[in-house]
Amino acid sequence: MPNLNSPNFSSCSDIILLLSSTACWNASFLDQSDDGHFKTNPKVPGIDFNAVRLLFETLMKPAFARLLEQITKSFESLLIPQLPCSPPDVEAMRIYLILSECPAFQDSKNYITLTIPLAMAILRLDANPSKVLDNWWSLMDCTVFTRLVEMYKSIVVFLLTGGKALLMPVFLESYTSAALRLLEKLHKVNLKAHRVEYNHFYIPDIATLVDIQEDYLKWFLRKADIKMRYPPVQGSVTLCAYPFILNAQAKTTVLQTDAELQMQMAVSGANLHNVFMLLTMEPLLARNPFLVLHVRRNHLVSDALRELTIYNDVDLKKPLKVIFDGEEAVDAGGVTKEFFLLLLKELMNPIYGMFTQYSESNLLWFSDKCFVEHNWFHLIGIICGLAIYNSTVVDLHFPLVLYKKLLEISPTLDDLKELSPTEGRSLQQLLEFEGDVEETFCLNFAITREYYGITEVKELVQGGKTIAVDKTNRKEFVQAYLQYVFSDAVQEQYSAFSSGFLKVCGGEILSLFQPSELMAMVVGNNNYNWEEMEKNASYKGEFSATHPTVKMFWEVFHEFSLEKKKQFLLFLTGSDRIPIHGMASLRIVIQSTAAEEHYLPVAHTCYNMLDMPCYQTKETLRQRLTQAVEQYEGFSLV
């Protein structure tokens, strides 16, 4: 290669022309297989990526700076603009992978001129070549796929920060849309190929770059316009249309915004109705702007069923207020939390047989034999939905598969492994066994189940008793087994639960969430940050952050094991998990009492408040706190 920094640089014009040719790039870097042939097909790109990277690494050296500059310009003005919508053959598709390896595309100064135009060219591809590129991406090394995702995430951030100053609004929207749509294409590939974890697509600081609430309202209005067949509202691209980039906290903000919107609409509707009733002299037909539940502590389930049955879907969107019969407490959130805790504790009571508890995992699943009406399952669904809409964490020991089903995602063998590890491992062994499956396992397409001392045989398919499981049909057996456990056996119970849940939390908003995120909305998560909890604690009475007893308390607490800390959390809040927003949203209160040192600390679960005597020694505090935590039964199921 000539000295490209010499005055005789014009002699390289043929090289520049060559390197701006799509055909030249596509014919280079061919991966020669063991048999000496080059192979490219819809599933194999046939590229020697090591050779591609070596070239670009060489071009990045100072000696070739001028050549790299010229190549970059040729990419911008010649190569990328000429990329066709329908390449002539599969070999012509190699260029899209080769260009993605060029470091210049990862430089922010080239985002507008190179990287985004490449994304637009990819998005213009016809259906068949687009599928070929998807196939090739699905076979990429995970690190390469991650780099591609990170590059277009960086472009989105770049456009949301500096883009407004560089671009006219119409170009800013077009470029942002292109980057997001390219990420969406990569995300769809990842759903099938599992190159990276889904949270690799999150843009963590997205909430600081845009007003999530405003973005959701725009998205909500556009959805409404589409349903009503009105022309869509004009404006910037909405990020809620690409929920895979929103982390759990951003999605929680979206859901809470939706909840507030739905509540305001329900309240406004009630108020408007009330004004009309006053004008027509029918004040007795006025509607309460709140969802008010009047319940008795000793008849909690029957009262909750009665109260919730009389309300329609719109009423369930109203702000929730709970009144315990004979009690004067004003519900500022604490009474509602107590209601959820007590009601779910009662509904989960094993005497009703509503759920089967799996001892290995300590998780619950619907029982196909129980002693209650299906409206009890409907009630639990409504309660879970209300808990989300009223930002209350509840202590429910359901597996992830429940939330997958709510999002219409099919269960897998991993879900059975979570719920019943031994069963899951047994089926995995069946799938992996190399010997004679029929002779070794002696299975057919039927299983036995015991219900209160009576054994029943359940056929997984019609005539299953006579169909032996062998190497050719074992996958079908496992699939039928999963279908039975997670769907067929509990169809009525699950349908009642899901209809109650979706009555409160259904609609477009649910589609934004991953199953694990939806689960965290209901039961919280385990991303513990104990220092954050201490930092956000507040104090009443004699106590302050510098009080000797408070300082001893935190010393003792931080010396607890993880399990003991979780026990304390359960003791104080009614759940050993934390809200989806993290410890920053968990506010605990420590209040001094006049009780003597032999008294134990007392937790007010509804208000996350701990009443504690002014213990004089660290050892006394440790003993009393440990005793209080260990003796507490709480609302858990174990």
Select from 255, 509, 243 the least CA-distant residue to 387: 255
Q: Is the pLDDT of residue 369 over 70?
A: yes
CB contact at 8 A, 383 and 394: yes
Whether residue 2 is predicted with pLDDT greater than 50 in this model: the reply is no
**pLDDT greater than 50 at residue 3:** no
Rg (CA), the chain: 31
Burial of 82 (0-12, 13-18, 19+ CB in 10 A): exposed
Q: Which amino acid is at 636?
A: S
Residue type, 512: L
Question: How do residues 518-529 score in pLDDT, each as one tens digit?
Answer: 888 888 777 788
pLDDT band for 633, please (50, 70, 90 cuts). very low
**Tokens representing residue 433 in the block:** 């066994």
Q: At residue 623, does pLDDT exceed 90?
A: yes
Assess whether pLDDT exceeds 90 at residue 400: yes
Any bridge partners for residue 589, and if so which? 538, 609
Residues 628, 553 contacting (CB under 8 angstroms): no
When the pLDDT of each residue in the chain is averaged and rounded to a whole number, the result is: 84
Give the model's pLDDT for residue 452.
Answer: 66
pTM: 0.76
For residue 550, what are the contacts with CB-CB under 8 A and spacing of at least 6? 539, 543, 544, 590
Place of tokens 């959130």: 333
User: How far, in Å, CA of 517 to CA of 519, rounded?
Assistant: 5
Domains of the chain with CATH codes: 7-208 (no CATH), 413-495+507-522 (3.30.2160.10), 530-631 (3.30.2410.10)
Least confident of 18-22, 129-133, 191-195, 461-465: 18-22
Asked which of 163-167, 338-342, 411-415 is least confident by mean pLDDT, the reply is 163-167
| Measured distance CA(352)–CA(349) in Å, rounded | 6
612-618 CB contacts, 8 Å cutoff, 24+ apart: 612/543, 612/549, 612/553, 614/542, 614/549, 615/549, 615/552, 616/549, 617/552, 618/552, 618/555, 618/556
Is the model more confident about 505 or about 485?
Answer: 485
What pLDDT is attached to residue 413?
96
Residue 348 banded pLDDT, cuts 50, 70, 90: confident
550-585 pLDDT, tens digit each: 999 999 999 999 999 988 988 888 777 777 667 777
Torsion, Cα 257 259 263 266, to 10 degrees, reads: 110
Question: Nearest Cα to 69, choosing from 5, 21, 24, 121?
Answer: 5
pLDDT at 320: 82
C-alpha 279: how far from its chain's center?
48
Binned at pLDDT 50, 70 and 90, residue 220 comes out as confident
Q: Which amino acid is at 390?
A: N
Residues 6+ apart with CB under 8 A from 574: 337, 341, 395, 605, 634, 635
Q: What is the pLDDT of residue 7?
A: 47
pLDDT of 432 reads 94
Each residue's pLDDT tens digit, 491-510: 999 999 999 998 888 777 78
- Report percent pLDDT > 70 for the chain: 87
> How confident is the model over 32-59, as pLDDT tens digits?
765 445 678 888 888 888 999 998 899 8
Is 370 catalytic? The answer is: no
pLDDT of residue 583: 78
Catalytic residue among 240, 384, 505, 606: 606
pLDDT at 360: 92
Going by the DSSP 8-state scheme, the letter that residue 44 receives in this structure is B
> Do 607 and 334 meet the contact criterion of CB atoms below 8 Å apart?
yes
Cβ–Cβ under 8 Å, residues 554 and 530: no
pLDDT in tens, 530-541: 999 999 999 999
Q: Which residues have C-beta within 8 Å of that of residue 199, sequence separation ≥ 6?
A: 247
Q: Is the separation of the CB atoms in 282 and 327 below 8 Å? A: no
- Alpha-carbon distance of 189 to 200, in angstroms, equals 13
- CA atoms of 583 and 604, how far apart (whole Å): 19
* Per-residue pLDDT at 267: 64
Residue 290 has pLDDT above 90, yes or no: no
